[in-house]
Amino acid sequence: MHDSRNTLTSDSAIAPLPPAPSQAQAARARWRKRARKLAPYAFISPFFILFAVFGLFPLLFSIWLSLHQWDAPAGLAAMHWVGLENYWYALTDPWFSKSLLTTLWFAVASGVPQHLVALPLAFLIHTTLKRSRNFVVGAYFVPYITSSVAVALIFTTLFSKDFGVINAILPGPPIDWLGDAFWARITVAIVVFWRYLGWNVVLYLSALQVIPGDLYEAATLDGASRWQQFRHVALPLLRPMMFFAITLTLIGNLQLFEEPFILIPPDSGLAIDVMTTAMFMYRMAFSDGDFGTASAVSWLLFFLIAALTYGNARLFGKEGTGDVAR
């Protein structure tokens, strides 16, 4: 065995050369080299095998379906070919374009505050709270684990126009949070923000653990204020996690379905005003009975998400993506 290396430097020119390998050692070294080449494929194969079995078929089915018109209850044999007509049909549907705008609005209105608040909040919690840290993080995280059923009931109670706590606290005339189109969207955005703020705080907190303490100490010695430490020490090192968290927010918000669905009943007059593209897709499939168009819409949405995610990746650049392999 070689001398143990207590000094972990990458400057191997200083270390003594190992003795010439024997036959067995050479074979082992070759095997290890091949294993190292194959290892990544072996390590990622569980995902791809599972994907091939459980993800690929639904994916291909969905593409196939998007080229047919299908009223599902009539059975599989009832599909008939329409080519790209479903895509055209969706793109020319006024509710589709409305839903796209609504979806993008939600993405920005709830996504941007999520991160603007979560980042400094995580930093604050990380740097100032010791004993109460777990409790506070828990309280912020709790929205994520509250069941949808409870969320629906409780938020409609809290935001009730005449009897809700929110209107009781706020000055001025009561706001029709759940009955007016404008305010309903804001209510939904608030609920989404509420739901995912803690998740982002947790993500950023876990990334903050990795930043060595002496970096902050060095900054303090240099006279940096807390804000400056946040901006110049923490933020740059948080970029990989920011990329991750923002990508997730992007993907999640563009697929937003649950929060508007549970807050605004689907048969109320407001339903169209808070309809996201995912809800439009659901309606196409289960209300209009048009599974083919619903699949086409899901692919249109996919392209949108992919495009925006790609743009996001470009924005964050190489170091943002956490790619350290050389």
Query: Residues 102 to 121: which contact another protein by CB under 8 A?
Result: 121
Contact flags string 131-170 toward another protein, x per CB under 8 A: x-xx-xxxxxxxxxxxxxxxx-xxxxxx-xxxxxx--x--
Select the residue interacting with another protein from 23, 37, 221, 314 (CB under 8 A).
37
Can you give the length of the chain in residues? 326
Q: Does 318 bind another protein (CB under 8 A)?
A: no
> Which of helix, strand or coil describes residue 160?
coil
CB of 14 to another protein, least distance (A): 14
Q: Does 14 bind another protein (CB under 8 A)?
A: no
Reading the block at residue 224, the tokens are 């940096």
Q: How many residues bind another protein (CB under 8 A)?
A: 144
Number of helices (H) and strands (E) in the chain: give both, helices first.
15, 2
Residue nearer to another protein on the CB measure, 105 or 244: 244
- Could you tell me if 324 and 239 are in contact, meaning their C-beta atoms sit under 8 angstroms apart? no
Select the residue interacting with another protein from 80, 91, 170, 265 (CB under 8 A).
265
Residue nearer to another protein on the CB measure, 128 or 228: 128
* Residue whose tokens read 């309280």: 139
CB of 42 to another protein, least distance (A): 8
* Residue whose tokens read 């082992």: 28
Residue nearer to another protein on the CB measure, 30 or 32: 32
CB of 105 to another protein, least distance (A): 18
CB of 221 to another protein, least distance (A): 13
- Could you tell me if 263 and 188 are in contact, meaning their C-beta atoms sit under 8 angstroms apart? yes
* C-alpha to C-alpha distances, 179 to 81, 151, 263, 265, 305, nearest whole angstrom: 42, 18, 11, 11, 30
Q: Does 241 bind another protein (CB under 8 A)?
A: yes
* Strand intervals (E) in the chain: 68-69, 80-81
- Could you tell me if 274 and 264 are in contact, meaning their C-beta atoms sit under 8 angstroms apart? yes
Within 166-205, the residues that bind another protein by CB under 8 A are: 168, 176, 178-181, 194, 197-199, 202-203, 205
Which amino acid, residue 254? Answer: L
- Phi, psi for residue 7 in degrees, rounded to 5: -95, 110
Query: Can you name the residues that pair with 145 across neighbouring β-strands?
Result: none
Q: Does 247 bind another protein (CB under 8 A)?
A: yes
Contact flags string 44-83 toward another protein, x per CB under 8 A: x-xxx-xx-xxx-xxx-xx------x-xxxxxx-x-----
Select the residue interacting with another protein from 243, 253, 260, 274 (CB under 8 A).
243
